[in-house]
Amino acid sequence: MSNSRKTYSANEQLLLYTQVEGICPICTKPLYYEKNGQIHKKYEIAHIYPLNPTPKEVELLKNEKRLSIDVNSLDNVIPLCPDCHEKFDKPRTIEEYRMLYKIKESLIQKSKIMNTYSYFNIEDEIRVVLQKLNLESGELAKLEYTALKVEQKSDNTLPLLLKKQIINDVTEYFKFIQSIFVEIDKECPEKFNTLAMQIKGFYYKCRQTTQSQEDIYHSIVAWIHNKTGKYSLRACEIIVSFFIQDCEVFS
């Protein structure tokens, strides 16, 4: 018995469209076009695991992981531009299935974490640190490499290039950020501990969704960035590196 293709509601399509940020996740073309002053969609809802697989596809994918048993589940579909949809379906390959599976899995994880943003607050003083980082000039006192904890705390889910960036940020900025928090604590005692607990709380929430240190790092950066009015993404990266060294993250 074949499966019927579901007609997704406008709200469901909006959720899927927002999840891929309005671009085809394979080729990055926009999933809309403008004509006569109106916006029109330019995407198709693709099934990652086939809606009605052929015997050949059943055999091809028999040992592959699935995002949902229900083929019409929102977890098993993704908006693609018409060209990429056709290429993905005909002919279906293991490599492309795994690629789209991984993309969608990452999008699902990101959505779950973003949906918790409203439950996790962060003190306004974090903006003070971001602003001072952005205005910083001159030579900084560096942390000794032997004092770094990143090497001991990282695992194989943290890419080498990102680990090197974190280590460099800790080496360059740890003492500078620490001095800012010392000044903040003089004016408002225990403010640093409050911030540290908030960072740690969000870190543990991320851990409930993914064990990837790379994904957790980017999720915390994005959370701080959004919670602080998107002031400076680079400063947020440096802040997260500080809290990795200070043991609130990857602990």
Cβ atoms of residues 245 and 170 within 8 Å: yes
Is the per-residue pLDDT at 209 higher than 90? yes
Is the per-residue pLDDT at 207 higher than 70? yes
By percentage, how much of the chain surpasses pLDDT 90?
81
pLDDT tens profile 41-57: 999 999 999 999 999 99
* Closest to 244 in 3D by CA, of 223, 214, 222: 214
Q: Which residues of 210-233 are buried (b: 16+ CB within 10 A; e: fewer)?
A: bebbebbbbbbbbbbbebbeebbe
Beta-bridged to residue 44, according to DSSP, are 80
DSSP assignment of 208-225, as one string? TT---HHHHHHHHHHHHH
Cβ atoms of residues 244 and 213 within 8 Å: no
By percentage, how much of the chain surpasses pLDDT 70?
97
The mean pLDDT value for 174-179 works out to 93
Q: Which two tokens stand for residue 113?
A: 């974490």
Q: Which amino acid does the sequence have at 24?
A: C
**Mean model confidence pLDDT for the chain:** 92
> What pLDDT was estimated at residue 227?
93
> What pLDDT was estimated at residue 147?
64
Q: Which two tokens stand for residue 190?
A: 């225990």
Is the per-residue pLDDT at 140 higher than 80? no
Question: Does residue 35 sit in helix, strand or coil?
Answer: strand
Contacts of 191 (CB under 8 A, 6+ apart): 123, 125, 181, 184, 185
In the numeric block, the tokens 């607050």 are attached to 121
The mean pLDDT value for 193-200 works out to 94
> What pLDDT was estimated at residue 137?
64
Contacts of 197 (CB under 8 A, 6+ apart): none
> What pLDDT was estimated at residue 144?
74
> What pLDDT was estimated at residue 146?
67
The more confident residue out of 144 and 62 is: 62
Cβ atoms of residues 213 and 224 within 8 Å: no
Q: Which two tokens stand for residue 203?
A: 């870190």
The mean pLDDT value for 168-187 works out to 93
Distance of alpha carbon 237 from alpha carbon 168, whole angstroms: 11
> What is the pTM (predicted TM-score) of this model?
0.83
Q: Quick one: which H or E segment has residue 184? A: helix 160-187
> What pLDDT was estimated at residue 248?
85
The mean pLDDT value for 141-170 works out to 87
> What pLDDT was estimated at residue 6?
92
The mean pLDDT value for 101-120 works out to 94
* Closest to 68 in 3D by CA, of 60, 59, 55, 77: 77
> What pLDDT was estimated at residue 138?
64
> What pLDDT was estimated at residue 145?
67
